[in-house]
Amino acid sequence: MNIVLLGYGKMGKAIEQIAQERGHHIAGRIDISNRADLDHLADDAVDVVIEFSSPEAAVDNIRYSLERGWPVVSGTTGWLNHRADIEALCHEKNGAFFYASNYSIGVNLFFQLNKVLASFMRKYPSYRVSMTEIHHTEKKDAPSGTAITLAEGIMEHLPQKTRWVTDTPATDNEVAIESLREGTVPGTHTVRYDSDVDRIEITHTAHSRQGFALGAVIAAEWLPGRQGLFGMNDLLSSNEPVNNE
């Protein structure tokens, strides 16, 4: 499979390594310094684009790829206020767009665990829910896309919670997210429920970028030949086998 990498930082390089190990060809490695090289690629020379760039570049990157007819797997966060426009373009072009705030298989299991716990806690309003996310100092957006997805899962099952807030005291209808940036931390997310007598916590800790990169490559292997909007739930619930080795 011919893959174009849009964004060639640490994540792009991790994806490249795994893609090549799995027998794929990297048709282009694009970052801010060589963006014009995309125009020299033939439409049929690209099977799928994997986009991990920056919040500022993501929308243009995704739009360009969909207009060229290339399926897009995107993991960039911090641009989702434009998501409706991208989804409309995908439908207009009969394209394929796969988005996830986090491609780690473990994190997506954690998302489900978070929802189950929230559904249990619905009956116990004495517990106050909050969240902490820790990432490396180079991460530009806060809170992380993963933290936002966790907050959305909580709000889905705790109707009294209608919005999330970051780095500020939360009211009774808000989910507080604390965002910390430390060293080279790949990603740690903790959801906690505090009462006057005890605390319940669940935590996911990433040891490296490899889990995120592997999930993105698996999504890129799955997406070509499909049309529409997809996410990790579609991939994980698919009847097709997923080679996560």
Active site residue 135: yes
Residue 27 is labelled as binding a ligand: no
* 153 is known to lie in a ligand binding site: no
Determine whether the annotation assigns residue 188 to a binding site: no
226 is in an annotated binding site: no
Catalytic one of 82, 115, 139, 157: 139
Q: Consult the annotation and say whether 239 binds a ligand.
A: no
Q: Is 19 assigned to a binding site?
A: no
| Residue 20 token pair | 């090549």
146 is in an annotated binding site: yes
Count of other CB atoms within 10 angstroms of residue 92: 10
Among 24, 135, 161, 204, the one annotated catalytic: 135
- The reply, when asked if residue 12 is annotated as ligand binding, is no
Q: Is 82 a catalytic residue?
A: no
The answer to whether 77 is a known ligand-binding residue is yes
Q: Is 54 annotated as a binding residue?
A: no
Angle between helices 105-121 and 145-157 (to 10 degrees): 30
Q: Annotated binding residue at 75?
A: yes
The SS3 of residue 17 is helix
Choose among 196, 180, 181, 242: nearest CA to 216: 242
CA separation for the pair 181, 169 (Å, rounded): 19
Residues 6+ apart with CB under 8 A from 71: 47, 48, 49, 95, 96, 97, 98, 220, 223, 224, 226
| Residue 120, C-beta contacts closer than 8 angstroms, at least 6 positions apart | none
Task: Confirm if 86 and 97 have CB atoms less than 8 A apart.
Answer: yes
Residues of each annotated binding site for NADP(+): 35
Residues of each annotated binding site for (S)-2,3,4,5-tetrahydrodipicolinate: 136, 145-146
Residues of each annotated binding site for NAD(+): 75-77, 100-103
Report the catalytic residues: 135, 139
